[in-house]
Structure 1
Amino acid sequence: MSEPRKIILDCDPGHDDAVAMMLALANPAIELLGITTVGGNQTLDKITRNAQSVLVACGRDDVPVYAGAARPLVRRVEIAADIHGDSGLDGVELPEPTRPSEQAHAVRFIIDTVLAAEHGTITLVATGPLTNLALAARLEPRIVERVREVVVMGGGYHEGNWTPVAEFNIWVDPEAAHIVFDEAWPLTMVGLDLTHQALATPEVEEQVRAIDSPLGEFFLGLMAFFRQAYREHQGFIDPPVHDACTIAYLIDPAIVATQKVPLSVELRGELTVGMTVADFRSPAAEDCRHQVATTLDHAAFWALVVEAIRMLSQQDTRSQED
């Protein structure tokens, strides 16, 4: 077995961020070095607490949490309460955090971790607005050439959700997204074109229900709220679990098909601010550093998630017996 992929998960939990955390915590192909938080789905204080609570629910409060940017670089704060509720994780009773967040700022943790690690070993996974990553790249440009890859849940090459053409994470802080997309590191965009295929169907939920564990019930509670929110506000029958697709891609790239294509972020269009523009007009050059996720193996993706919940549930049972 190859060495696990060392990642920092920069997120704004968020129902789908919570599932991404479960997958990153449980799968042996991933070594989660820390969680950094950024204002997005809810305010920074709420989503930082959510990250801590999910770690407790997973029996993994050993993972450090670093709070980061509370607002976009230049724009006003925008949250997604319609989709994620007042807490950011409505639908379940959140366990009390058992470990405080770290004193260091998330951006400082990202910089220090990348600089201290061997060149090309740290992957940055961003499932919220890209403010922390943009600040890190500007504060310490040396990290750009040292990062193995940046994987972003955001954008879409044909789809938007917060506006007709812009996805929420990019639209909230398009200036930060522009910085991150424009840097020289390899970047994979796992956008709505892919994540709208990652639907939490009733069949998936039955597999989780069969695990018969508190964490399984936690997942089901999250999905029940998420389903209702997506039906009311986005017109989906089943909710798309966007953020976990980034981790699935890192665990097994065969689950998430990708295509190299140049990407940019629109900043000035009256109707298109936050749009991620992919140039499919001709085959990408060999040295193209961008790629987009295109097609999801739905069954294989959910097999990973269900197994992650099963593994974390078993670990929690063993720890309680000890």
Structure 2
Amino acid sequence: MTPSPKTPRPIIIDTDPGQDDAVAILLALAAPEELSILGITAVAGNVPLPLTEKNVRKICELAGRPDIPVYAGCARPMVRRGVTAEHVHGRTGLDGPDLPEPTMALRPGHGVDFLVETLMAAHDASITLCMLGPLTNLGMALVREPAIVNKIRDVVLMGGGWRETGNITPAAEFNIHVDPHAAHNVFESGVPITMMPLDVTHKALTTRQRVDRFKSLGTPVGTAVADLLGFFERFDEGKYGTDGAPLHDPCVIAWLLRPDLFKGRRVAVEIETESERTMGMTVVDWWGVTARPANALVIDQIDADGFFDLLTERLSRFR
């Protein structure tokens, strides 16, 4: 008897592109057998919202997928003033290649409305949320309609750190620091969370050999990814003195496709929202020294060669 084909996992991607966000979106688009993308919501983060929503559409068109619903979400954090990272990602957020202006239109409506309405329409907890940027859209959706908690299969996010504590302040990783109050909402909501912190993403470095493999694909996507990463890595190479930069956000999608590439531990995670000195710090109880119940699977190990093999193979599917 022939086994029935596996039903693709329905996902929503929430993102603030960003070169590494772009690679994550491309990886998801290259996995239609495993992932069904219900929509992509943009949020302010690496660059302001008018650029992040445009960048999502640029990447969808690069992949030949203008059919993907794209929504603009929140233009600023829930409580604090916004922070951006043009010093890392460049003026557009996708500096490196010369990608054309998108022709596909944004879908009408707000990204938070799309999240709430799509989740509430689900028959059960079947939808995975892939959070690649600040957690503002999801934090706001949880405030607007707390019942979405029962409709979320899981949240897989890039953010935080515990050994590798911060990349925007000494204590905090960028995505969590930008909107710590939204992050607090998510981590306290009770939804199942898988967290990809700096501790794992700093082990996935875009070495020259790995970037050259993308360029050698000889396709528009391969060339664009090589150019994106060539620009992106210049900042972290100077900052950390490494060969290449941490490729953060694609770890979220790779976890859905190949969880065997990763290892972690279920622990309690709290978000600092009071102290300006440590605002957005992820307090990870790795050794179980408190009585707080575990609320996240925190990943800290990756098979980096296997990860880049997966990326190269999947991106080679674009022609």
Counterparts of 1:189 and 1:144 in 2: how far apart (Å)?
17
Counterparts of 1:254 and 1:99 in 2: how far apart (Å)?
36
Deviation sequence 1:5-28 (CA, Å, 0-9, x none): 211000000000000001100012
2:307 — aligned with what?
Answer: 301
1:319 — aligned with what?
Answer: none
Is residue 49 of structure 1 aligned with residue 61 of structure 2? no
Q: TM-score, normalised by structure 1?
A: 0.93
Is residue 156 of structure 1 aligned with residue 161 of structure 2? yes
Counterparts of 1:254 and 1:284 in 2: how far apart (Å)?
29
The answer (yes or no) to whether the contact 1:261–1:284 under 8 Å persists in 2 is no
Say which SS state the counterpart of residue 50 (structure 1) adopts: helix
Counterparts of 2:288 and 2:282 in 1: how far apart (Å)?
17
Task: Kindly state the Cα deviation for residue 107 of structure 1 after the two structures are TM-superposed.
Answer: 0.5
The answer (yes or no) to whether the contact 1:35–1:64 under 8 Å persists in 2 is yes
The answer (yes or no) to whether the contact 1:145–1:184 under 8 Å persists in 2 is no
The answer (yes or no) to whether the contact 2:269–2:294 under 8 Å persists in 1 is no
Task: Kindly state the Cα deviation for residue 312 of structure 1 after the two structures are TM-superposed.
Answer: 1.8
5+ unaligned residues in a row in structure 2: which ranges?
Answer: none
1:191 to 197, 220, 223: 197
Counterparts of 1:284 and 1:64 in 2: how far apart (Å)?
43
Is residue 279 of structure 1 aligned with residue 297 of structure 2? no
TM superposition outliers: structure 1 runs of 4+ over 4 Å: 283-287
Letter in 1 for 2:171: V
Letter in 2 for 1:96: E
Counterparts of 2:39 and 2:291 in 1: how far apart (Å)?
34
Aligned residues: 313
Letter in 2 for 1:304: L
Deviation sequence 1:154-204 (CA, Å, 0-9, x none): 101222101112000000111111111110110111110011111111221
Q: TM-score, normalised by structure 2?
A: 0.94
Deviation sequence 1:201-240 (CA, Å, 0-9, x none): 1221222222111111101110110121222345443011
Counterparts of 2:137 and 2:20 in 1: how far apart (Å)?
19
2:138 — aligned with what?
Answer: 133
Letter in 2 for 1:118: H
1:5 to 3, 9, 22: 9
Identity %: 43
CA RMSD of aligned residues (A): 1.7
The answer (yes or no) to whether the contact 2:208–2:243 under 8 Å persists in 1 is no
Letter in 2 for 1:55: C
Letter in 1 for 2:22: A
5+ unaligned residues in a row in structure 1: which ranges?
Answer: 314-322
Letter in 1 for 2:265: Q
The answer (yes or no) to whether the contact 1:137–1:143 under 8 Å persists in 2 is yes
The answer (yes or no) to whether the contact 2:215–2:225 under 8 Å persists in 1 is no
Task: Kindly state the Cα deviation for residue 79 of structure 1 after the two structures are TM-superposed.
Answer: 0.4
1:116 — aligned with what?
Answer: 121
The answer (yes or no) to whether the contact 1:127–1:153 under 8 Å persists in 2 is yes
1:105 to 105, 110, 114: 110
From the superposition, tell whether residues 106 and 256 of structure 1 become closer, same or farther in structure 2 (CA, over 3 Å): same
From the superposition, tell whether residues 212 and 115 of structure 1 become closer, same or farther in structure 2 (CA, over 3 Å): same
The answer (yes or no) to whether the contact 1:260–1:284 under 8 Å persists in 2 is no
Say which SS state the counterpart of residue 40 (structure 1) adopts: coil
Bigger mean CA deviation after superposition, 251-260 or 165-174: 251-260
Bigger mean CA deviation after superposition, 228-237 or 70-79: 228-237
2:24 to 20, 39, 42: 20
1:258 — aligned with what?
Answer: 264
Task: Kindly state the Cα deviation for residue 104 of structure 1 after the two structures are TM-superposed.
Answer: 1.1
The answer (yes or no) to whether the contact 2:268–2:293 under 8 Å persists in 1 is no
